[in-house]
Structure 1
Amino acid sequence: MTSTDLSTPDQQQADLEHECDFSNGCDAIKLIITPRSTDLGEFSVRRTLPNRQCKTVGPWIFFDHMGPAEFAAGSGINVRPHPHINLATVTYLFEGEILHRDSVGSLQTITPGDLNLMVAGSGIVHSERERPEVTGQPHRLHGLQLWLALPVEFEEIAPAFYHYPAATIPATIVNEVPVRVLIGSAYGLLSPVKTYSETLYLEAELQPGQTLELPDTEERALYLAKGTLQIKDQQIEEFNMVIFAAAEGVTIQALSHCRIALIGGAAIGPRFIDWNFVSSRKERITQAKQDWQDGKFPKVVGDEVEFIPLPKV
């Protein structure tokens, strides 16, 4: 899902780079990104990746903060089937739930603390909706959606879907701070989530005054989903993403109750991105767009009728 997927077809657009503000930080910080919230009616999205100054962080090429959204009874998330290629999507919720269906036959509800990994590879189609039991009453939705660019040698692998319940995600306490290692390894923990290159994704919640030394990896970024924190002499405000320089042993300090997401890993190299398609080859995206227009992608099992049309240029 992308923020454009949450909108009507008329709101679809090929350019995924939302407007952001940028500033420089201390010697440990390369860039601070302040996303501009995009209001989609009952829903708002803050997108920090991609943007004009930072296309990727490790293999991560897309980062959306969804909500928090308040839905009245009878409304909610209703994302019709749409395609992806050459990437993997990661969905992680703080509140609410989403019902996932795809063209490899998956039917899975994701709830807070779970992690959904959908590997598009050579091509997959999926929809994201909500169960009638959820839409029938007032409810909230809040979470993160991220895309991973697959390494060149894995771009055309067979599509697949993996669901990791909350109980399978390793957790620990570091300096009294609860940490969950969602993808990759850190603090002596190894996540069971499948990876295709060096990848890091963890979350932590800090109380005022608490500190946490961040794990090192080739490229890193911290997203502050809640609160205010300090990095050296730099104060970081809520909803900002910090792109780190190649500094080791960076420590953050919470100035209020904070929720952070740390992403990173080995650099993936340049990628083309257009609508829901990511690839190392521009001609592959051109082919995918034509295939979607011609109805050549497989159907979502159990959701075969509706679809999101290719956006008009």
Structure 2
Amino acid sequence: MSNITKLLTPHIQDLGGFNARRILPHDEYSMVGSFIFFDHLGPATFPPGTGVDVRPHPHINLATVTYLFEGALLHRDSLGSVREIRPGAVNWMTAGKGIVHSERTPESDRDVESTLHAIQVWVALPEEAEEIEPSFAHYSCDDIPNWTANGVKIALICRQAL
């Protein structure tokens, strides 16, 4: 017996050399809990000299949570944060009243063939927190709870479980 009650087909967007599969929002679900957007990035392989180049763009009134399975991204933002994220780590950017950021393949990874496989979720902030000061936090692999259950490796990237 399956616990799956609904399968949603994602909208596929070409982001310049790799695909993002956006499952939320969906025709049937504008949100699930506090999740506004749910994007599955890649998997993608980039030849030497290329990579991800998501140019600076703004966000307001939400937070983004980025988790990598493969590859690397360099986050830069208008707060002055510059942080590389690698597999197993989490970047949590709270836009609040406004932030501008970019995500790119680090220069050190552009010399060789590189990969990207990640998820990024966009989280609605509670109404009373929509206009808070923006912030950025990076959590290393060692900060992320991991365990295996029924042969499945689980990483708890936000909130709580069980």
**TM-score, with structure 1 as normaliser:** 0.49
Distance 1:154 1:40 in 2: 30
**2:79 aligned with 1:79:** no
Tell me the CA shift for residue 176 of structure 1: 4.7
Structure with more relative contact order (C-alpha pairs < 8 Å, separation 6 or more): 2
One-letter amino acid of the structure 1 residue matched with residue 121 of structure 2: L
**2:126 aligned with 1:151:** yes
One-letter amino acid of the structure 1 residue matched with residue 38 of structure 2: F
Tell me the CA shift for residue 175 of structure 1: 4.0
Distance 1:132 1:173 in 2: 34
Indicate which of 92, 98, 115 corresponds to 2:90.
Answer: 115
> SS of 1:143's equivalent?
strand
| Residue equivalent to 2:65 | 90
| Residue equivalent to 1:44 | 19
Distance 1:181 1:43 in 2: 26
Tell me the CA shift for residue 79 of structure 1: 1.4
| Residue equivalent to 1:171 | 146
Indicate which of 40, 46, 54 corresponds to 2:29.
Answer: 54
Compare CA radii of gyration and give the structure with the larger one.
1
Tell me the CA shift for residue 170 of structure 1: 1.1
Distance 1:51 1:152 in 2: 22
**Identity of aligned pairs, percent?**
51
Tell me the CA shift for residue 74 of structure 1: 1.1
Distance 1:158 1:90 in 2: 17
**TM-score, with structure 2 as normaliser:** 0.92
Q: What aligned pairs does 1:1-313 form with structure 2 within 5 A after superposition?
A: 30-187=5-162
Q: Higher strand share goes to which structure? A: 2
Tell me the CA shift for residue 138 of structure 1: 1.1
1:129-178 deviations in Å (ceiling 9; x for gaps): 12221112111111111100100010000000010001111122334543
CA spacing shift, 1:135–1:150, aligned 2, 3 Å: same
Distance 2:19 2:152 in 1: 29
Q: For structure 2, list consecutive stretches of 5 or more residues without a partner in the other structure.
A: none
One-letter amino acid of the structure 2 residue matched with residue 82 of structure 1: H
CA spacing shift, 1:153–1:139, aligned 2, 3 Å: same
CA spacing shift, 1:176–1:66, aligned 2, 3 Å: closer
Which 4+ residue blocks in structure 1 deviate beyond 6 angstroms? none
